[in-house]
Structure 1
Amino acid sequence: MDRFDAMNVFVRVVEAGSLSAAARAIPMSLTSVSRHLSALETQFGMQLLRRTTRHIALTNEGRVFFERAKSILADLDEVGALLSAGRSEPAGRLCIATPTLLGRTVIAPLLPCFLARHPAVSIELLLIDRAVNLVEEDIHLAIRVGRLPDSALVARKLGDVRMIVCAAPSYIERRGAPCSPDELRRHDCLVFSDQPGPVDWHFKSAGTRRSARITGRLWANALDVLAAAAIDGAGIVRAPSWQVANDIEHGRLRRILQDYEPMHAPVNALFERARRTSPSVRAFLDYLVESTKTGPLAGMSRFGEALGATNG
C-alpha cells in the first residue's frame, strides 16, 4: 500500500471528523479507508486514532503525525504544481500568519497585487495574535512584531514600529496622566495578552531601560479591541504608533509618557530554513521588502518617524 496514499487518507479522516465522512469525500469505500489507517498504524507500531465509523479521536502520537503529514502533503502539492507547469515560478498554497490588526490594515491590502502577479499562487491568511508554531501548524511564513527569541527559524527584517502609550482625554481628565512608568500601577491599564495576569511594559529614559509591572483591568488578545476601549475612556493602552495615528491626530487619544518611550520594535518575517528555496516564499518575502519602501509598510514607518520628530 502506498504510504502517501495512506497518509492522505489519514489527514482526510481527521479533517472530516469521521471515517464515513472521509470515505464520502475522497471518495473511497469505508473498508478501504479503514484498511489504509490500519496499514499506517502497523507501519509505525502505534495507535494513531481511536475510532468508530461515526467518531474519531487523535492519540498524542496521532496528533504529531497529523501535523507533519499535512505539511508533507502541502509540500508535495506545491512541488507537483511547479513540475506540472514546467517552471520554477511561484505556485501552490502559501500560508501566512500575522497579528490581527497588522494583517488587516497592512498585509491584507498587499495581497491582491501579489496574487495578480502570481496567478498560480493561492494564499491562506491567518490573523492570529499569538506566536504560532510554523512546523506544527503548517505555516509557511509568519510576521511578528517585537524582539525575537532564539530559534532555528530564519528572520528577515521588514522595518520598525514605535510603541506608544496613550489614553482618551476623558480618562485623563478623570484620573490624570501618569508622569512616570511607576505611576501606571495606580491607573487602569488595558493589556494585550493571551491570558489575564501581570505583564511588563518596557520603557527607556536617558539611555536606561526600565520596566513597569502592569496588572491591568482589561485584557484582550486583539489590539484593536483595546484601542477602542481606550477611546471610550476605559484606561491606558500601549499600541503601535501606526495603529492609533488617526485617533491621535483627531484628538480621540492623547500620548502620555513620551519621555519614556522605548526604542522602535522590529517587524520580522519568519520562516523555516527548509522553506528558503520555496519560490512562493521567496517571492512573497521580496514583495514585502519592496512594500516597506513604497507601500503601506512604508507609510507606517514614516508615521512613526513623524511622531518622534513632532512630539518626541
Structure 2
Amino acid sequence: MDTLEGMRVFIAVARKQSFTGGAKVLGISTKLASKYVAQLEAKLSAQLFNRTTRSVSLTATGASYLERCSAIVDQLDELEDLVQQRQAELAGPIRITAPTGFGSHQLIQALNPFQLANPKVEIDLHLSDQRVAIVEEGFDLAVRFGALEDSTLIARKLMNMRVVTFASPAYLAQHGTPRTPEELSEHNCVISKAATHPYHWKFNNTGKTLTVVVSGSHQANAPRAVAHMVAGGIGISRGPLYSVAPFLKSGQLQLVLEDYEREGFSLYAVYPTSRHLTARIRALIDHLVDYFSQ
C-alpha cells in the first residue's frame, strides 16, 4: 500500500464516517478501503477508528491524525497545482454542493463555459435543499444563499437575489389580491420548509421590518416544488426569484406585495478555511464571480 493512498482513503472514510461512503467518494470497493485503512493502522501501530456493526468514528488518535494528514495531502495537492499552473492547464476533480432548484438550472448554465474551457476539470455536482456539512462530506465548494453561519468557512459573494411573494392569476381572481402583508392571514399560504423560518414571513414596512405569521394546507422542502404547487392555483407563497422566474415569464405566476419586499439575500461560494484552494477551484470561483456579476 502506498502511504499517501492510504491517507487519502483514511480522510475519505473519516469525512463520510463510513467505509462504504468513503469508498464511494474515491471510486473503490468498500473491501479495498477497509484494507487500506487497516494497513495504515498497522504501519502506524495505532487504532484510527472505533468500529461497530453500525458506525465508524474516529479515536482521539485518529482525530489528531486526520488534522495533520489532511494538511499534508493539501500540501501535496498544492504542489500538483503548481505544476498545473506552469503547464497553464487546469485538471482534476471539484466536488460542489448547491441547492436543487438553483443548481439544476442557473448553476449548470454558469458551469458550462468553464467546463468547455477546461475539459480536464471533472465537476462532481451534488444537489440538495438541506445544508450539507462541507468538510465532513468532503466537498471542495458549496454554492449557498444566505448569511454565513459557520466560522470555519470562507464565503465569497456571487450575487444578490430578490425574495418575492407570488400567486397564480387564477387564485388571485378567486380569492382576491392581498394589498398588505397583514392580509395574508386570510389566504392559504404554501409553506417552503427550506426557509429558515418557514411560518414567519418578513416584509419591509416604511423602513421597518414587519413579520407576519402565516399558515396553509400545503408545504414542500424545495423552492421550485413550492412554485409548481402555487402555479396550480392552491395559494400564495414566497421564495427566491430564481425559483419562480420561468413561471413569471410564462404567466403562470405573478408577483404580489412588491412594495413590501425586503432586501433579498446573497449567493455565496463557500469553502473551508482549512482547505487549500487549488488552481482549478480558485479559477472556478473567479469564473462564478464574473459570470453572476453580469
Q: Same fold (TM over 0.5)?
A: yes
TM range (shorter): 0.7 to 0.9
Aligned with residue 20 of structure 2, among 9, 14, 22: 14
Q: TM-score, normalised by structure 2?
A: 0.78
Identity %: 30
Aligned with residue 56 of structure 2, among 56, 59, 81: 59
Query: What is the 5 A alignment of 1:1-312?
Result: 4-8=4-8, 11=12, 13-15=19-21, 22-23=30-31, 35-36=38-39, 39=42, 43-44=46-47, 47-50=49-52, 56-61=53-58, 75=74, 78-79=77-78, 81-82=80-81, 87=86, 90-149=90-149, 151-194=151-194, 199-275=199-275, 277-293=277-293, 298=294
Number of equivalences: 278
Deviations 1:34-54 (A, max 9, x none): 84276389514x65222xxxx
Higher alpha-carbon deviation: 179-188 or 220-229: 179-188
Alpha carbon RMSD of aligned pairs, Å? 3.6
Residues 269 and 216 of structure 1: CA distance in aligned 2, closer, same or farther (over 3 Å): farther
Counterpart-to-counterpart distance in 2, 1:162 and 1:287: 22
Counterpart-to-counterpart distance in 2, 1:258 and 1:195: 19
Could you tell me whether the CA contact under 8 Å between 2:159 and 2:267 is conserved in 1? yes
Residues 79 and 99 of structure 1: CA distance in aligned 2, closer, same or farther (over 3 Å): same
Runs of 4+ residues over 6 Å off in structure 1: 69-74
Segments of 5+ residues of structure 1 without an aligned counterpart are 51-55, 299-312
Counterpart-to-counterpart distance in 1, 2:246 and 2:133: 33
Give the drift of 1:233: 0.7
Counterpart-to-counterpart distance in 1, 2:196 and 2:131: 17
Residues 86 and 240 of structure 1: CA distance in aligned 2, closer, same or farther (over 3 Å): closer
For 1:174, the aligned partner's letter is Q
Segments of 5+ residues of structure 2 without an aligned counterpart are 14-18
Deviations 1:56-75 (A, max 9, x none): 5323437x96xx69977984
Could you tell me whether the CA contact under 8 Å between 1:196 and 1:219 is conserved in 2? no
For 2:131, the aligned partner's letter is A
Deviations 1:191-219 (A, max 9, x none): 22159995321111211111122333222
Give the drift of 1:124: 0.9
Give the drift of 1:103: 1.0
